[in-house]
Structure 1
Amino acid sequence: MEQLKNWIIENPTIFSVVKYILLVVFVLILIQLIRRLLRKKVTDTVARYKSQKSIEIIGYVILIFLSFSYFTGNIKDFTLAIGIFTAGIAFTLQELILSIAGSLYIFIVKVYKPGDRIEINGIKGDVIDVDSIYTTMMEIGQWVSSDNYSGRIVKLSNAFVFKGPIYNYSQNFPFIWDEFNLPIKYGSDVELTKSIVIKIASETLSEYTSKSKAQWKEVVNKYYIEDAIVDPTLAITLTDNWIQFNLRYIVDYKKRRHTKHILNDKIHKELEKTKGKVTLASTTLELIEIPEIKVNLNKNDSL
């Protein structure tokens, strides 16, 4: 032991190099251990690849920083180096950490669950899976009109639950309000039109209306919200071209398009039976005749 101390005193440069090499080896081993841990714990291929790459990059940056600090003598305590290394890991993997925290938040608070229809980060779809890092959705809309599937499966980081609003179409109240406009020509029987539209809407939507009333009572009791009308309502607006009938009603969030089709089809058939008393309007264009211009040319006129 005494000989080792004497050797260190006699060869301070060699001892400093050996100490530096051991420090580098320790950091490299630590990086490999973390990479192996991530390889086992992170199941998603993309997240696993990115996290391991991030650890590798951080390791090289830390080694460069430690090398500079070691030979300039700025870092006296190795504990500080470990603290900096840990902080670097946390900064680089903040998205992964937020995703894991987001999955816990989704599970505990019950923000949404598989089977719910949501809109998050501008993407709308049905949730088909929620894991520790991603929420998987079957996309709705985009190039497809109405609430139809586009066919694309979207994976979205769970971290987005902390970054913006989440619209849930099915939680607590699995119904939505929808509406459409019916243009009726001036001179039509307005009262007859009103009775036809309300009758068809009430008969077609009776099941949704009765179920939604019970559900809405639970929502009113749970949240600070006023009561709402769930029965079909009709509003009339006079426009330049026609009388506009606006039908507003409640419907199952998954049957919006199909229900609108049924209502339009039934109303159109009933209006056809009125034999001209009620006529659907359409956009009309009035063409104004250009006045005739007569031009007389006299051959004797000179220029």
Structure 2
Amino acid sequence: METIESIKYWLGEHSTISLIIKYIVWVIFILILIQLAKRTLKKNLPSTETRYKSQKIVETIGYFLLIILSISYFTGNIKDLTLAIGLLTAGITITLQELILSVAGSLFIFFVKVYQPGDRIEINGIKGDVIDINSMYTTMMEIGQWVSSDNYSGRIVKLSNAFVFKGPVYNYSQDFPFIWDELNLPVHYGSDVELAKKKIIEVAQEVLSDYVRNSVEKWNHVVKKYYIEDAVVEPTLAITLTDNWIEFNLRYIVDYKKRRVTKNKLHELIKKAFDDSGGKVELSSSTVEIVRIPMVDVKK
């Protein structure tokens, strides 16, 4: 009888074991609800972006409910929530600085819109496309490193959200999804300079017309939003005289994801235009040309 009474006591309504069991049941119940809601949204929402954002909202609400449940359950009164949070924060701030900064960073990223999934950014010396953001980490598909230009390296990088407070964040796609790029062309001295200029500009206008047209509205939005001077988005050409050749510098605007393919197309079409000039325009190179061989008198 004493054993049965002890079991009833330990499993009583207000016993510690009973409270822990009820708490675990509630936690499991909320976690199951989160997973069911995420699966339902994943099946029923057609848009990838809407599906992703909806799942993140459900996940955030669920974890917030778990925090409320944990604090109110063990303090015994929801009114003690503020006091409990204050005491908890004071106790763990020093030991969990990185964790707190990561959570604060995720809130900062969300509300200030520093970046979002799909953006191309550079942070802490790492460049890539953002593919996921959670309460702790930003996940990126890395660009560059041993791979030339803006190609994927194949590595997925997880970066603490705390880094948004520790240095600059370069965003290639927010507000203005275009970048300026340059192309240097060495032209042989003696070439028809005016013809070379004409052919380069014609090719640039042909290849870049869509980028110029689409970037005008975006740039006007940037000028209105920020304290910044207006800029020329049409292709511009500058000439520099060097010791070896006439250098033509083409500056142009391009979609941040199409920099490599655009530069390749410009090179191909400009080379073809020069070849079709009938020798009037020739590309130069840093080769050594021997113009006179000195005579050597072997009899001496």
Using the size of structure 2 for normalisation, the TM-score is 0.68
Range that drifts further, 83-92 or 210-219? 83-92
In 1, Cα distance between the equivalents of 2:274 and 2:255? 26
Cross-structure match for 1:145? 148
Cross-structure match for 2:276? 273
In 1, Cα distance between the equivalents of 2:242 and 2:113? 46
Aligned AA (2:256): Y
In 2, Cα distance between the equivalents of 1:244 and 1:92? 58
Residues 148-185 of structure 1 show CA distances to partners (whole Å, capped at 9, x for unaligned) of 00000000000000000000000000000001100000
Offset, 1:93: 0.7
Aligned AA (2:233): V
Q: Which has the larger radius of gyration?
A: 1
Residues 15-48 of structure 1 show CA distances to partners (whole Å, capped at 9, x for unaligned) of xxxxxxxxxxxxxxxxxxxxxx9xx99xxxxxxx
Q: For 1:236, which of 232, 235, 239 is the aligned residue? A: 239
Q: How many residues align?
A: 218
Offset, 1:275: 1.3
In 2, Cα distance between the equivalents of 1:266 and 1:284? 24
Cα gap change, 1:116/1:84 in structure 2, threshold over 3 Å: closer, same or farther?
Answer: closer
1:173 and 2:176 equivalent?
Answer: yes
Matches within 5 A, 1:277-292: 277-286=280-289, 292=296
Cross-structure match for 1:89? 92
In 1, Cα distance between the equivalents of 2:185 and 2:104? 49
In 1, Cα distance between the equivalents of 2:145 and 2:179? 20
Offset, 1:290: 7.6
Aligned AA (2:128): G
In 2, Cα distance between the equivalents of 1:172 and 1:190? 38
Cα gap change, 1:112/1:85 in structure 2, threshold over 3 Å: closer, same or farther?
Answer: closer
In 1, Cα distance between the equivalents of 2:200 and 2:118? 34
In 1, Cα distance between the equivalents of 2:238 and 2:121? 30
Task: Indicate the percent of aligned positions where both proteins have the same amino acid.
Answer: 69
In 1, Cα distance between the equivalents of 2:175 and 2:90? 41
Q: For 1:162, which of 161, 165, 186 is the aligned residue? A: 165
Aligned AA (1:111): V
Cross-structure match for 2:201? 198
1:125 and 2:128 equivalent?
Answer: yes
Give the 3-state SS of the residue equivalent to 1:182 in structure 2. strand
In 2, Cα distance between the equivalents of 1:97 and 1:124? 24
Query: Cα RMSD (Å) of the superposition?
Result: 2.5
In 2, Cα distance between the equivalents of 1:154 and 1:293? 69
In structure 2, stretches of 5+ residues that fail to align are 1-26, 32-85
Cross-structure match for 1:11? none
Using the size of structure 1 for normalisation, the TM-score is 0.68
In structure 1, stretches of 5+ residues that fail to align are 1-36, 42-82, 297-303
In 1, Cα distance between the equivalents of 2:272 and 2:289? 29
Q: For 1:103, which of 106, 109, 129 is the aligned residue? A: 106
Cα gap change, 1:86/1:256 in structure 2, threshold over 3 Å: closer, same or farther?
Answer: closer
Give the 3-state SS of the residue equivalent to 2:93 in structure 1. helix
Cα gap change, 1:86/1:111 in structure 2, threshold over 3 Å: closer, same or farther?
Answer: closer
In 2, Cα distance between the equivalents of 1:276 and 1:293? 40
In 2, Cα distance between the equivalents of 1:102 and 1:116? 17
Give the 3-state SS of the residue equivalent to 1:241 in structure 2. coil
Cross-structure match for 1:12? none
In 2, Cα distance between the equivalents of 1:92 and 1:295? 89
In 1, Cα distance between the equivalents of 2:287 and 2:116? 50
In 2, Cα distance between the equivalents of 1:108 and 1:86? 22
In 2, Cα distance between the equivalents of 1:171 and 1:158? 18
Offset, 1:215: 0.5
In 2, Cα distance between the equivalents of 1:246 and 1:197? 10
In 2, Cα distance between the equivalents of 1:85 and 1:214? 50
